[in-house]
Structure 1
Amino acid sequence: MQDPYQFFSFNKRLDWDKGSYYNLRMVNGALAIHQTEKYAVHKVIRSAQINGPDVMMDFTVGQGGKLFVLDEEAAIWSYDAENHHTELLFGRNHQLFTGHALLASRGDTLFVADPVSERRVAAYSISNSQLLWAVENWKNSPIYPLAVAADLQKRLYTVVPLDMIIGLNGKEEVPEGGRIGILQWDAAGEVVGVYQHDSLRLNERTEAEQLQRRYYAAVSEVGKVHLFDAHRRLLTAFEDDGALHAQFSLALAGSYAGLSIDTNNNMYIGDSRFVGEDEEDERFILKFGAQGDFQARVSGFRGRTNKLLTNSRNQMYVLNGETAEITLLELQKRTLELEESSLPEGIYLSSALDTTVSETQWHRFQLEAVIPEETQVRISYLASDRKELMIDGDFVDLSSYLNNSSIALKDKLRSTRDLWSEPIVNPRDALLMNAQGRYLWFKLEVMGSERQSPLLHKLRVYFPRKSLISYLPPIYQEMQDDSRFLERFLSMFGTFFQDMEEKIDRISKYFDPDAVHGHYLEWLGTWLAVSEDESWGEDKLRQLIKQAPELYKLRGTRQGLSRMLQIYTGSEPYIIEYFQMKQMQERSELRELLSRLYGDNPYVFCVMLPQECVQTDKQRLIVESIINDQKPAFTEGKLTLLQPWMYIDMHTYMGINTFLSEPTLLTLDQRSSMPYNTVLIDLERDKRMDIHTRLGLDSELE
């Protein structure tokens, strides 16, 4: 066995922090290039795919990403982009609203605001298209909606002129100095809030129809209401109580449309300019901070923007009226570029590694890293017996120079480019050639791709140089060209033996369930006859392995079976044995019921678990195999899953799967069912002839 090597190790943040980072950061204990999330096109939905509207006038997004698209003939189409399923929610010629309507939705409610129809603002049920509420006037004046938005509480916000008059031509107008504000509607169609500010007044008398497609509204998840005036390029944000939060103007010239807010309160406004066929399309979506500071252009989308929407997952929907398509943008990871090179790369410059021994022969690098395709890691090194080296004509401390934050990276790379060795590419295990000296410095160049970055988990630098050539006769150790080749050749075998010896030295850690994971943990599980295809999960399997000695002492007992099932399901089972109900079976009126529920065989016991603990057939098979493995000899275990409802003469247990409580409203979900003889009624319609008239219940004859 070779003498043990010494090494410097970089496997935690404290080790890496001794050097200098450039466009690098720690990610779950690994060194990687800085990455950020940027919007990129995930899906483009064209009108032909919906197989309905030829022209998309407006749209909104409902639950599960379902789209509701309005065409120029006032039809509304429901489109499921995942399943490519189209339904007609409102057909043509319904005369409820026109193709100029504005759409918004939240939950199961679709809001339609139309400035030229009889119902200016209305709410409809998405499930059956029934009208929930509708309004035409507010404070005895007609409503003229210019923009709509909805919040998480199903409240609707409409941008409207607060001051309206009828002009000489009979058209609705806003007088000079007229106010533009936002009305907040509750779920019953009542105005519960008004947002306004003097800066939103009009400078001149304007016909109301000229204000269409000028204003856009959005509501953040924290309740801030935003209004964008595209004509004046003015954005106003209100607190949820109506107070002014912020206001700013776009400094950029051009024409803009659309407004959306993400979960981080960033604001997005689209470019709505017209671009000729021969012109390059430079129309982007602009991103602003919560205080109106311009942050970036969303380069993942180019084209005209007519409307913007952002959901709770920060997915952005963009309507392009020119091409009649809706683009779905999603946040995707992007690698940041190094400022000095404009490339997706990072640089690390180490401090001096000191062996305290002059003329040390450095041995090798060993790197544990994940290096995806199209990425690369390059490492260069420098060894010397002196800490001060000649840089730009002066002797300076190299470690201090490399770690000096006031010196630009490009100057450091330029002044030291002749000192570094030739780079080693992807050095999983690399021999250091001509590296002699007490001190060693190294430079890491981490090259990434547009979306991926190498992850450097651990780096080791071994010293001193030890080779199997020392075990050969002296003639082979002479420092000639042939012996150098032989030394490099034998170093491969030396590395193999060294790695094998290190694994043998650390073999005990592979038997510690708290120290291993993944395949090693599954391998330990096979020692307990847990096959790798069983869905135990790491936490449960680790707990099983740690408790195995005690569990095997209890094998074949009620307690052992109960603990085993509790580890796997997370819930303590209910075990019913024959002797527990033997006396009750002696009563004739209970004998048949107990036999049906628990059986009448004294060698059969019943194991009951809540249904949510065993949700798949595979989990049920594993539970049954646990029962068969842990049951006493010559017995049989019967598994029963307790349903969360009450059935007389079935497995109904008070306080376990059945509870008595005060009457509540009926809620249908995946855990509830409605019997066939249930009748749904509306209490508000009681005592009405031909609807709900029930003598003795809600009506009486006098």
Structure 2
Amino acid sequence: MTQSQSRQTISLQLTPMQVPEALPEELGTGSASWGDTRELTAIPSRRSLLLRPGEPSEMVVQIKNLSSRRLLINLQVDGDFPNPWCQIGMEGNEIFPGQQMEAVLYFQIAADFFENAQAIYPGSALKVNYQGTLQAHLRQPDTGWQHLEPASFHLYVRAHSLYLDFLPAIYRETDFVGRFLQIFEQSFEPAVQTLDNLWAFLDPLTAPRSLLPFLAHWVGWPLQDRLDVEQQRYLIRSALEIYRWRGTRRGLRFYLHLATGLPLDEHLAQESDKHIGITESFCRGAILGEARLGEDAILGGGKPFHFIVRLRPDLDHPIDEELVRQVITQEKPAFCIYELYIEPRSLPNVPALPAAIA
């Protein structure tokens, strides 16, 4: 801790909660730019606060009243950094003789500090070292006496560095080494992170939207504009299973489940109870020379290779009939015909009108 005190008034102490590992040389103006390579000077680290983009940092201020009178105090922070970076937190502004109070200086900078294009102006270097001053305005209400007590501190904006962990500890004592390695880390680390999370790029549920056409082409799945992105993701992920069961009732029901959002109802045995009911009435029809009238063949009423699809959504669950027909046409055997019924469950007494036989 550092002290800047008036003999008979207060003791003012600053304690940073995040201290930088290495400190650069301070220039005459109290700040340094990103490209400085000078050696270290004896800057007290106890007055230096480390700032990480997007993360909060704090500096604790301890104020003790050394006088024999009650003091009113007001804190103000000035410096060469933007004012929105700092917020002051105080529990009160009155200190009695011999007592102590604490305040906190809250600092936070934007997460895109290093990526923001406005951070660097033409012909200038990115500023990462700053200097500030805490000014304590004191007043004795009994006598009207006033006093200004300053205390200076330094702010150092640094990004997280992983590459320093692979070097001997002696190199961590030089601030320039860490900033120099950041150049390579910012260039290579995105590629390393991509490789570490490659599984997420290959899973349609977590892959970026721009990668979905590639994943769909990978499994030979045609993208459908009528479906939203989430449905497309599940269809691409389930493409191989749909291929495996193509031409079967199980495969058609599964595809309709993904396309319409209706449940599979695998725990229900009867097709009439399911949200997606599929009934088959396959027969060979009357084949001359083989059919026996009255035993295995009848005259009229038969529809060879025919099945019926009944969708039973809730009243507030819309169904895209054109999409459903597209799915059925794609999944059914070419020689089959079908009928489609959409029967909202909330209207059980209203007879559903059959769609045209396809």
Q: TM-score, normalised by structure 1?
A: 0.24
Larger helix proportion of the pair: 2
Structure with more contact order per residue of length (Cα contacts < 8 Å, sep ≥ 6) = 2
Q: TM-score, normalised by structure 2?
A: 0.42
